[in-house]
């Protein structure tokens, strides 16, 4: 989706030179491009998942509560219910706990960006720079871990990190399973519930895999010992850098079996920072929400996640400024978002949005109505996720290029293909309903990015070199399709 957003200004400027092509659509031609895959309200009952040796409850509800004490108690109780095998987990979260979680996600994002900077797949790095970047990431995370697990300022309150051990253990198992049992395989079960152990191992494994080396045995424990013995970030970072430099010099190159992490590494470094940024933004606006609920379902043998978000009356939650020229995603009332990560037979990731509440102003089925009554039925009826083209760049695009209209987002479709080992095709489509439109409100915002290249290998470096890129941007109304195409080669840069 970020490709769609960053291209907006280029499209607007190109329009003034007459580079925006348009063609009239035949009646009904828009139908097949905007037909929704599935209405979120048609999902069946929630279904529990299995992660490792544990069963994941089918439903999780996070409800705002101003009390630090009740929130800490709720975390402990949620851990107990998880051990008991409950079908549903409800957790009270105070704005203070949400702020601490947001700080942790912010530092986690910065750590991943530090690792990504020194492990770019398109340029070589030396051992010193690699060790410096990974050490900075670990030192920053260690500082946050100390704050959320043993912060003296917490006084008599239960610190956030000490209350969530069982839930963290479950998350660790999930991460390990999703990466082919190679991300956290060196973390024993008794350590998987410790925030520091999970974060340190994740950074180390990603860093070493991105550098093309295997993580030496015992390194995680040595790093944790350094993190435990000092609170001063600068001397700590210097000691960590020395440890990492020595460790990578004696580390064996990745073997064929160990290289299985390369795919998840690229995915983590590419997408996780933005995902963490989005969650951080939501956590910092927690005081505007009534509750956030996750339910797991099964559709066609695949797991589907449904998210219900209830915003307090007369409030809105915004996701903005994550990338240049990003339209604002504004959530009001009650919305349901359904994520299908591998829709058959195309393999697309489809995110469906259903505005408002279900029949009679309550959520979409009886179980959800009883578990999470809406914050305000009247507000929920007008709820949804709105896409707003705010700011100068989008104003120019609307004036010079496309008749962009704000409206409710109904579906996002993302497909990624790799026809060759160094080639990539990304297709992103957003289906929306324009506000105040006369007649048919449907609109489609679509972007394709094609990259052709080759692979280069060298010491401390395995990466791709892009030889040619082509981007195609389309905006469709019921009457017209507007198209902008841009081709780029090394000679044209």
Does 148 lie in the same domain as 22?
A: no
How far is 421 from 444, CA to CA, in rounded Å? 31
Residue of 16 and 414 predicted with greater confidence: 414
| Mean pLDDT of all residues belonging to the chain | 75
Same domain, 140 and 226: yes
How far lies 176's CA from each of 151, 260, 264, 467, in Å?
A: 29, 13, 11, 35
Domain endpoint, select from 249, 266, 283: 266
Residue 56 has pLDDT above 60, yes or no: yes
Same domain, 164 and 202: yes
Note whether residue 281 is domain-resident. Answer: no
Is 279 within the bounds of a domain?
no
Q: Which of 321, 295, 377, 386 is nearest to 40 (CA)?
A: 295
453 vs 318, more confident: 318
**pLDDT value at residue 361:** 38
The model's pLDDT over 290-329, given as tens digits with 9 standing for 90+, comes to: 999 999 888 777 788 899 999 999 999 998 877 666 788 8
- For residues 99 and 217, membership in a common domain is answered with yes
Residue 357 has pLDDT above 60, yes or no: no
User: Do 215 and 333 lie in a common domain?
Assistant: no
**Cα-based torsion angle of the residue sequence 267, 318, 341, 43 in order, rounded to the nearest 10 degrees:** 160
* Contact between 166 and 82 (Cβ < 8 Å): yes
Q: How confident is the model at residue 1, as a pLDDT?
A: 46
Q: What is the pLDDT of residues 161-192, one digit of tens each?
A: 555 566 666 666 666 666 665 667 666 666 66
Query: Do the domain assignments include residue 468?
Result: yes
Mean pLDDT of 345-361: 69
Residues 191 and 335 in one domain: no
Lowest-confidence pick of 154-163, 211-220, 256-265, 406-415 = 154-163
Q: What is the mean pLDDT of residues 455-470?
A: 61
Q: CA-to-CA distance for 375 and 381, rounded, in angstroms?
A: 11
- Residue 158 in this model has a pLDDT that exceeds 50: no
Residue 58 lies in a domain: no
Q: Using 50, 70 and 90 to split pLDDT, how confident is the model at 13? A: very low
Do the domain assignments include residue 286? no
**Which one is predicted more confidently, 366 or 69?**
69
Question: Do residue 333 and residue 469 come from a single domain?
Answer: yes
The domain boundary, picked from 221, 250, 266, lies at 266
Please check whether residues 227 and 355 belong to one and the same domain.
no
pLDDT of residue 230: 65
pTM of the complete model: 0.74
361: helix, coil or strand?
A: helix
pLDDT of residue 28: 83
Domain housing 449? 2-43+297-492
pLDDT at site 144: 67
Contacts with 226 (C-beta within 8 Å, 6 or more apart), sequence order: 236, 239, 240, 243
Quote the pLDDT of residue 292: 93
Please tell me whether residues 357 and 415 are part of one structural domain. yes
Average pLDDT on 111-128 reads 67
Cβ atoms within 10 Å, residue 253: 12
Output the pLDDT for position 443: 92
33 and 100 inside one domain: no
Question: Same structural domain for residues 460 and 403?
Answer: yes
Q: pLDDT digits over 189-248, tens only?
A: 666 667 777 788 888 887 887 777 888 988 988 988 888 876 666 788 889 999 998 898
End position of a domain, from candidates 244, 266, 288 = 266
> Residue 121 — pLDDT band, cuts 50, 70, 90?
very low
**Angle between helices 127-150 and 219-229 in degrees, nearest 10:** 60
Number of structural domains the chain divides into: 2
What is the pLDDT, as a whole number, of residue 314?
92
275, part of any domain: no
Do 212 and 150 share a structural domain? yes
Beta-bridge partners for 89? 60
């Amino acid at each position: 989706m970020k490709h769609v957003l960053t291209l907006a200004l280029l499209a607007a400027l190109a329009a003034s030179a007459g580079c925006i092509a348009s063609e009239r659509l035949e009646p009904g031609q828009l139908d097949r491009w905007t037909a929704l895959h599935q209405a979120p309200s048609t999902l069946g009952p929630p279904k529990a998942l299995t992660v490792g040796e544990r069963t994941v409850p089918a439903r999780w509800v996070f409800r705002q509560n101003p009390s630090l004490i009740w929130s800490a108690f709720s975390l402990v109780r949620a851990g107990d219910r998880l051990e008991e095998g409950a079908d549903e987990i409800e957790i009270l979260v105070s704005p203070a706990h949400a702020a601490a979680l947001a700080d942790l996600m912010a530092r986690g994002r910065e750590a991943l960006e530090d690792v990504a900077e020194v492990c770019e797949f398109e340029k070589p790095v030396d051992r010193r720079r690699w060790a410096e970047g990974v050490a900075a990431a670990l030192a920053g995370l260690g500082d946050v871990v100390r704050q959320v697990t043993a912060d003296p300022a917490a006084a008599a309150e239960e610190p956030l990190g000490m209350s969530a051990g069982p839930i963290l253990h479950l998350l660790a198992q999930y991460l390990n399973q999703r990466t082919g049992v190679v991300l956290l395989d060196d973390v024993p079960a008794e350590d998987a519930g410790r925030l520091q152990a999970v974060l340190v191992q994740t950074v180390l494994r990603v860093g070493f895999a991105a550098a093309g080396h295997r993580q030496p045995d015992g390194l995680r424990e040595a790093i944790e010992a350094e993190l435990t013995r000092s609170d001063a970030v600068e001397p700590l970072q210097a000691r960590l850098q020395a440890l990492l430099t020595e460790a990578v010099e004696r580390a064996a190159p990745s073997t064929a079996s160990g290289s299985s992490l390369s795919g998840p590494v690229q995915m983590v470094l590419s997408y996780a920072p933005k995902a963490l940024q989005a969650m951080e933004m939501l956590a910092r606006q927690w005081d505007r929400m009534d509750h956030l609920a996750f339910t797991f379902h099964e559709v066609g043998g695949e797991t589907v996640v449904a998210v219900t978000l209830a915003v307090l009356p007369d409030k809105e939650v915004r996701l903005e400024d994550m990338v240049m020229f990003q339209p604002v995603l504004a959530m009001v009332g009650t919305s349901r978002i359904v994520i299908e990560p591998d829709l058959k037979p195309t393999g697309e990731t489809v995110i469906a949005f259903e505005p408002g509440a279900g029949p009679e102003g309550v959520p979409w089925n009886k179980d959800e109505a009883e578990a999470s009554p809406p914050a305000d039925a009247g507000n929920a009826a007008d709820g949804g996720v709105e896409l707003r083209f705010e700011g100068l760049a989008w104003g120019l695009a609307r004036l010079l290029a496309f008749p962009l209209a704000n409206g409710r987002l109904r579906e996002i479709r993302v497909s990624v293909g790799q026809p060759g080992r160094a080639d990539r095709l990304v297709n992103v489509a957003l289906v929306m309903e324009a506000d105040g439109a006369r007649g048919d409100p449907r609109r489609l915002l679509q972007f394709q990015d094609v990259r052709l290249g080759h692979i280069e290998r060298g010491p401390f470096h395995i990466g791709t070199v892009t030889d040619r890129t082509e981007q195609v941007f389309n905006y469709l109304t019921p009457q017209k399709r507007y198209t902008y195409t841009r081709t780029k080669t090394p000679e044209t840069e």
